[in-house]
Chains A and B, each alone.
Chain A
Amino acid sequence: MKVLVIEDDQETADYIRRGLVERGHVVDCIGDGRKGLLMASADPYDVLVIDRMLPGIDGLSIVKTLRGAGTTTPILFLTTLGGVDDRVEGLNAGGDDYLVKPFAFSELMARLDALGRRPPLKEEDTVLVAGDLRMDLLARSVTRAGETIELQPREFKLLEVLLRNKGRVVTRTMLLEQVWDFHFDPKTSVVETLISRLRTKLDKPFATELIHTVRGVGYTVHDPS
């Protein structure tokens, strides 16, 4: 992926660059908001990472300008502003995701992967597959090796999110947001409990495991290698 990072804190910018380059991505970092806006308008990037508090022009204005000019590149806000309203403000301005500092690099990476690889304006898939697992979103049915599996609505949603992000890691936080619409960290094992139930129905009765835990990061589903 080609990533543009508009961040005025040099250390944070370096931290991000190092991590992304290690994983084979191309990264441009710029600390000035105006220059960043120009770069974002001029070059085609797969995803933009923009800090909200920048000298000169602030992140929110940059995003509004880009969206106003018709840029559809996915944008992730990276910021210390983690208030209840700040996130809504960021998403309303045209941001696609919002990550609060301090953050774990794995969290940033998982979210960028999800944003950057999103096929633009493609027809929504109505059938998702992984190995011998088949999920029909219209018929609301799930089968594995031909056998129908009964899922509760919440379990269905969880599987859908994992399958839509097939091959990528989905963090616990991402799951809380997308499956439960929770924007806080529950003190109990909401995610773990449901993953465990899903596994019981989906993985245990079969030979191969489809749902994998990535320690310290999240979960992933991929085709068996």
Chain B
Amino acid sequence: MAAMFATLSALAVTFVFIAVYFEIRSELYERLRVRTQSLHDTFLTVARSTGAEGLERVITDRAKAPGIDGGIYLLVRDDGHFLAGNIDPYPTFSGWSFIEPSELGAEERFEFDERFLSRWSRLPDGEMLLVGLSDDSVEEAREALVGGIVFGVVATILITAALAAWLAVKSQRRIRSIGATLEDYAQGQLDTRVALAGAEDDLDQVAARINTTLDRMEELVESLRQVSADIAHELKTPIGRLRQRLDVALAEANSVSEFRAANAQAIELIDQIVGTFEALLRIAQIESGTRRARFSRVSLNAVLSNIVEIYGPVAADAGQEILDQLTDAPCELAGDQELLTQMFANLLENAIHHCPSGSSIVVRLERNGDVAEASICDDGPGIPDHERDKVVRRLYRLEKSRSTPGTGLGLSLVQAVADLHGAPLVLGDNEPGLMASLRFRLSP
């Protein structure tokens, strides 16, 4: 990864430098051309004001100067006869061209790779004028530029490589640490978590997410352990009882009708055991959270008014009254209609079950902004303070209700569904009685 980064940077920088080089080079040559043209125009002006003879004298004077001043000049008659200048053999062409020293027949006078940017033109009287300037200054600049570029590219490559390596080493250490934590977790150390570097960067974000996932997995493992423990402990009791009864029947029953009776009782017990088992499984399934993927838009108003309508007659038969205080404001959220119905049904049934005849049960739904509070309040005996935490534990029954039917899983299921919907169950004192309430975050 780091190597790729270094290579790409180097390539990018190189391209930029090369582009700059070509740009500067063409600019320099353009300047040379302008200077040559300017010199050429000067000579033309001389020719126009003082005629060809005047120009001849100017060029001759110039040619007498010691050495070559970086320029070549030549004036010839249109038949090729030499008039003035500082070169002898000369090339012919029209317009602009670069003249190599070899074409001037005097290599030893020039720098090895110097060239002359030159121009032929015809004077009004027919003479031919050649003017050229050396590109040695351009060449020097070019060489300096190339040197600078090469240095720049090499330096960039080295710096980026060093940076990339340093970054890679830093990340590697943290990545290895994440790997080690996950390995420990897989080996059974469920409380280990990835340490955050406090840098608040990508790796830290990943680490935080991993930690959340590990939390979730620990919860699931715990839930699974819990279910296994519950099944083992709580189901063994009724199964044991079943076995005892059948054992007794085998030993003591004599008539067919006695056996039949024992058989019928056994089936009843088995149905109860299966019911408990299914309920435990359902709670575990709900706690695993996978149901969330199938959530749809649910109206709390509809769910609660449905429940009130269904249980009205049931409460009436028990000498109780259900009052509804459901807001008209729509309370909709993403959820599971079936589970929510079952949850509220459980709470209402609990109230009906635990309250004596003559009690009132209020089913309330209130909306405050984007939060809805649903509560089921009765004026019955309530749950004592110290028991409130425990009642949601699986298979826990209040001491006074141990003898009555029911699996004691109702409130565990309520809590599981409540947690699934992000609305934890709160049990409070209705003064008198029990108030079971849940606060839901609504969808817009």
List residues of A whose CB falls within 8 A of some B CB: 82-85, 100, 102, 154, 180-190, 193-194, 196-197
Contacts and interface: CB of A to CB of B under 8 A. Distances in A.
B410 to A, nearest CB: 7
B183 interface: no
Contact of B314 (A85, A181, A182, A188): A188
Closest 9 CB pairs of A and B: A193-B313, A193-B314, A188-B349, A184-B342, A188-B314, A187-B349, A193-B317, A83-B285, A187-B406
A198 to B, nearest CB: 10
A201 to B, nearest CB: 12
Contacts of B346: 187
Interface string B257-285: 00000000000001000110010011001
A187 B345 CA distance: 9
Query: Which bucket holds chain B's interface residue count?
Result: 20 to 34
Contacts, number: 54
Interface of B: 270, 274-275, 278, 281-282, 285-286, 290-291, 294, 309-311, 313-314, 317, 336, 338-339, 341-342, 345-346, 349, 352-353, 405-406, 410
A83 B336 CA distance: 14
B274 A102 contact: yes
A102 B267 CA distance: 11
B278 A82 contact: yes
B310 A85 contact: no
A212 B353 CA distance: 28
Given A102-B274, A182-B341, A188-B349, A83 B282 contact: yes
Nearest to A189: B314
9 contacts: A84-B339, A85-B291, A154-B309, A181-B341, A182-B342, A187-B406, A188-B314, A189-B317, A194-B313
Contacts of A196: 317
A77 B339 CA distance: 22
Contacts of A82: 278, 281
B304 to A, nearest CB: 15
Given A187-B353, A187-B405, A85 B294 contact: yes
B104 to A, nearest CB: 94
Contacts of B339: 84
A110 to B, nearest CB: 16
Nearest to A196: B317
Contacts of B282: 83-84
A183 to B, nearest CB: 6
Contacts of A182: 341-342, 345
Given A154-B310, A187-B410, A189-B317, 6 more contacts: A83-B282, A84-B336, A180-B310, A182-B345, A187-B349, A193-B313
Given A154-B310, A187-B405, A84 B317 contact: no
A100 B346 CA distance: 22
